[in-house]
């Protein structure tokens, strides 16, 4: 079972692609479903995430972009 979350980024999301994994404290907990520019504010990027229901996501949880190793792969 998965829950969908829509997050908004103001920073460039170069390298992010649909179907790439989403991690929580280094553990894969879901996937990126969709990435689009926000229609009302083109400075925002909307990212739709599908996250496992047992992931401890709270109101205080913050999504960040990170780079992995020397390859420079971007992930959330």
The 10s digit of each residue's pLDDT in 46-66 is: 999 999 999 999 999 999 888
| Cβ neighbours, 10 Å, residue 65 | 15
pTM for this model (two decimals): 0.87
Q: Residues of the chain with pLDDT > 90: what percent?
A: 70
């Amino acid at each position: 079972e998965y829950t969908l979350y829509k997050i908004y980024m103001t920073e460039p999301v170069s390298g992010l692609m649909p179907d790439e994994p989403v991690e929580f404290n280094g553990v894969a907990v879901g996937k990126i479903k969709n990435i689009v520019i926000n229609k009302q504010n083109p400075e925002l990027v909307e990212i739709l995430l599908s996250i496992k229901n047992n992931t401890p996501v709270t109101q205080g949880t913050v999504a960040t972009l990170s780079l992995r190793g020397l390859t420079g792969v971007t992930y959330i």
